[in-house]
Homo-oligomer: A and B are copies of this chain.
Amino acid sequence: MAQVDYPEPVRLLISQLKRLPGIGPKSAERIAVWLLQQGRESTDPLSRVVAVAGETVLECSVCGFFSTAETGCAICESEMRDHAALCIVEQPTDILPLERSGAFRGHYHSLRGKISPLDNVGPEDLRIGELTNRLRAGEFKEVIIALSADVEGEATGNYLAEILREFPDVRVTRLAQGIPAGGGLENADELTLMRALEGRVGVGG
């Protein structure tokens, strides 16, 4: 007896969903069923926004944030920002959380990833040439390395620190590591505690 399978449009839908990051075969099936049970009320808008985003959204050639041909990059085009400070992040999605913190009003530079030999990502895949070009233009006084506190983030930070020696007038800093806000010591892992101790700061008295 012929093996029963999904109709072709369902198979194609599942195979495209499976390609998305973090979506395994089971999740892809679950999402496909949900979409098909919702019907065109859900599939039409999803299809449309995916197509429009693909057609109109660009990576800002300066900072790597999202922009569109119509609106340009909201950060690079702003006149109100601190032009002396540059914050290096892995992804454009790291920018909004930093903005919401309210603690930084300078410019950003998204690397489009971090050095990760296991994923075949080397320095040449990152926007490092664009970074040094921006620094050579000469306006920045401080560069803040704001990468993940994991092995790849550390390695990328060290690599950048080496590259940035070319700019002795630019102060290079990185984000503090330590106990997260609201985090109790009993939940902190050993490495976090070690970093928190190493980075301890004096208290007034």
Is B9 within 8 A of A37, CB to CB?
no
Q: Mark A1-42, 1 if CB is under 8 A from B, else 0.
A: 111111111101101110111110001011111111101101
A158 interface contact, C-beta 8 A: no
Q: Which residue of B lies closest to A27 (CB)?
A: B22
Q: Which of B13, B19, B81 contacts A50 (CB 8 A)?
A: B13
Is B36 within 8 A of A66, CB to CB?
yes
**Footprint of B on A, CB under 8 Å?**
1-10, 12-13, 15-17, 19-23, 27, 29-37, 39-40, 42-57, 59, 66-68, 71, 74-75, 78, 80-81, 91-93, 95-96, 99, 105, 112
Which B residues touch A92, using CB under 8 A?
Answer: 33
Q: How far is the CA of A83 from the CA of B78 in the complex (A)?
A: 70
Q: Which of B16, B45, B59, B74 contacts A49 (CB 8 A)?
A: B16
Which B residues touch A19, using CB under 8 A?
Answer: 42
Interface SS, A side: helix
Q: Which residue of B lies closest to A44 (CB)?
A: B54
Which B residues touch A68, using CB under 8 A?
Answer: 7-9
Which B residues touch A13, using CB under 8 A?
Answer: 49-50, 52-53
Q: Which of B4, B40, B51, B78 contacts A96 (CB 8 A)?
A: B4
28 A-B pairs, CB-CB below 8 angstroms? Answer: A1-B80, A2-B78, A4-B75, A6-B66, A6-B96, A9-B68, A10-B53, A10-B57, A12-B53, A13-B50, A16-B45, A16-B46, A16-B49, A20-B31, A20-B34, A21-B30, A22-B31, A29-B93, A32-B53, A32-B93, A33-B91, A35-B50, A36-B66, A43-B50, A43-B54, A43-B55, A47-B51, A50-B50
